[in-house]
Structure 1
C-alpha cells in the first residue's frame, strides 16, 4: 500500500540551504550581512502520474467541452475571435504583473508606437504568446528552444532586461522580500545551475499525451513558475504555456482561452494555489484552472455572438458600393481590427486616393477611429472590436467573483 501511495503522490518542494553573497551592494545592513539562503527544489515530474477523484475529472471533462464549443465558432467571426482572445489573454497576463495601459495605447504599441512602456510590454506579451502557441501547431512537440524564443520576443525591448532576453538565468532569483537579497523572500527558486535539467524535465511532461489536458496545463504552469527560469517575465511565459498545452493537445485549434482574465479577478487565490502546489497539493490549482477556464470560455462565446453581428451592421452604416475600397476594407476589418493606412493599401490594392477615401468613409460612419496623432500612415481601430476587447475582460472578472 505504501508503494502505491508513493507512486501516485505528488511530493512537495524540498528546502536546501546554500551559501549567499551579494553580487551588488545595496539595501539594509541585514541585506548585506545575509550569508545563507534557503532555496526550494521542485520534484522532477516528467513521469509522474497525478490522480484525482471522479468529480474533479468530470468537471475537467465538462470544461474541455466548453472550450471545444468556443473553438467551433463559425465563419468570419472566428478570425476576429482568434485575434481578440489572443490580445485579451496577453493583456490580462500583463495585468497580473501590475502592467497596465489603455486599449488605445496597447493598440498603438501593436503597430510600433512605443511611447507607453506598459503598452509596449503588453504588445511584447502578445508576440510571445503567439510564438509559443504557433510552435506546437498540428500537434508538434514543445521544445525548450521555443520557450527561449518566446522569452526573447517578450523581453528584447525591455531596457533593464534585454541582456537576458531569450536566456535562462545564471544567477539566483527570488520572489518577494528585499530588492537586494533573498531576505524575507516569499519563495526562492532552485539554483541557476539546475534550471536546464528542470526545463528539460518540464518539456518532457508537457509533451505527454496520457494526461487530462487541463491537469497537464495547470501542472506545466505551476512547475514553470516554481523553476522560475528567467530573470524576469516568468509569469507571462508561464501563463502562455497554459494555452500552448491546450493547443498541442488539440483542446483548441485556433482560439486562445482567456484564462488570465479569470486569474486576474482572483489574484490572491491564484498565488495561493501556486503555494499549495509547492507543498505537494496539486488538486487546488487544477480545480482553480478548471473553474477559470469554464468562465473564460463562456464569456468568450458571448463575444463570438457579438462579433457575428458586427460586420452586417457596419455594412448598413457605411452603405458602400459593392467592390469599392470601403467595401473591401470592411471585408478584412473583422479579422484585422487594428491597421495602418499603408497596411490597408497593401491589403486591398487600388489607387491610394481610393483607399484613403474608403478609410475616411468608415471613419465618418463611426466604424473606425484614429489611434494616433499622425498626419501620415495613421493607425486605425475598429471601434466595436476595441470596445469588446475591454468588455470581455470586465465580464470575465465579474463572473469570476
Structure 2
C-alpha cells in the first residue's frame, strides 16, 4: 500500500473548490447566526454555555478514542481552570488533562499554532501516563507507527505514518502551511477547507506516540475559529463521535490519495451539522431563560426543581420523556401531588403531554422568539 506521504507530490493536496463553495458560505452564515443568537444570552448563561461546550468537547473527543470520562468531573476541572467556583469532586489525571487542554484551546483560539502549543497539549493530555516513552515531544520509536485492528495474529493495517525520523521536518512544513493559510497569511484558505486539510495532514503525520486524534481535532477547531470574525468553538467532537465509524473510514480513504475533495466534502457536512447542534444549544438556553421569566412567581418549588432537572438534560431531554414516576423521584412528591403539578405545568405551557395512562410522558415546550 502506498500512503499519501509516500506519493511523489506529497504534501501538495488538491481539491475541487467549486464543490465546497456552498459549504463555506453556509458555515460563515451559520456562524453569524450563532454569534448573533449568543448575544441575546445573559453573561452568566453565555459563560455556562462555553463551559458546556468545552466539557462536551472534552468528553466526546476522548470517547472517540475509546476513553470514557465523567462529564461532571471534566466540567468541574474546566471551571477551576477558568478560575470559577466548582464542586470539590476529584478528577482523574485524564479528566484534568483534557480539561486543561480544552481551556488552553479556548483561551487562545486566535493565536498562531506553534510547536510549543502542541507539545504543551500533549503534556496535558498524557498527564499520569507511565506507559509512554515520549511525552511532550514527538515520537522517537523506530518501530512503524501503525493504526491497526483485528486479532494480534492477523492484524489489519488501516494506516502507517511516516517514520519518526521524518516527523520533525514534516511538522515544520505543516506549521509553516498553517501560518501561511491563516486569515491575513500569504495564501489564506476558507475556514472549512483549511480545517479539513489541517486535520487530515496532522493525522497523516501522526507525530505523537498517543493523543494524535484529540490534538488533531483541537487543531481543526482552531482553524475553524480563526476563519470567523469572532473566534468561537464550533463543537465538532460530538458530531464526529456520532459518526465515528464513518469518520475513521473517511480518514482512511483520504490517507491513500492527494486528491482530498471527497474528504473535504465529508468534513464540511459534519462541520455544518456541528454548528447547527451548537445553535440548538444556544436556542435551548434562551428558551430556558424565557420560560422561567414568563413563569416567575407561578411555580412551586417542586415544579421549579423538575424543570431545572429537565433543562439540565440538554436539548435532547429525558430519553423517552418525563414520566410521573420520574417527577416523583426528582421532587419527592406523592402520586396525587405529582399529577396535579404536571397538569398545572401543561396548563402553564411549560410542558407538553403525550400518551395516555402509564404511557403518559411530558417534554419541555421549547420556544424562542
Q: Counterpart in 1 of 2:131?
A: 160
Task: State the distance in 1 between where 2:154 and 2:119 align.
Answer: 25
Matches within 5 A, 1:161-310: 161=132, 164-171=134-141, 172=143, 173-177=145-149, 184-207=156-179, 208-209=181-182, 210-250=188-228, 252-253=230-231, 255-280=232-257, 281-310=259-288
Deviation at 1:83, TM superposition (A): 2.0
1:300/1:132 CA distance change after superposition, 3 Å: closer
State the Cα RMSD in Å. 3.5
1:146 positional shift:
0.7
Report the equivalent of 1:132: 105
In 1: Cα distance, 2:151 partner to 2:139 partner: 17
Which blocks of at least 5 consecutive residues in structure 2 are unaligned? 79-85, 183-187, 319-369
Single out whichever of 272-281 and 103-112 deviates more from structure 2: 103-112
Equivalent-residue separation in structure 1 for 2:160 and 2:138 (angstroms): 16
Aligned position for 2:20: 56
Structure 1 gaps of 5+ residues are: 1-10, 16-40, 320-361, 369-381, 393-401
**Within 2, Cα distance between the matches of 1:43 and 1:121?**
39
Partner SS, residue 185 of structure 1: strand
Listed as ranges, the matches of 1:36-185 within 5 Å are 44-45=10-11, 48=12, 50-72=14-36, 73-74=38-39, 75-76=41-42, 77-107=45-75, 110=78, 113-114=89-90, 117=92, 120-137=93-110, 140-161=111-132, 164-171=134-141, 172=143, 173-177=145-149, 184-185=156-157
Q: TM-score, normalised by structure 2?
A: 0.68
Conserved 8 A contact 2:198-2:220: yes
**TM superposition shift of 1:256:** 1.2
Q: Specify the SS of the correspondent of 2:305.
A: coil
Change (3 A) 1:142 1:43: farther
Structure 2 counterparts to residues 384-395 of structure 1, below 5 A: 386-388=312-314
C-alpha displacement at 1:93, in angstroms? 0.9
Q: Indicate the larger mover: 78-87 or 382-391.
A: 382-391
Q: CA 1:169–1:307 in 2, change beyond 3 Å: closer, same or farther?
A: same
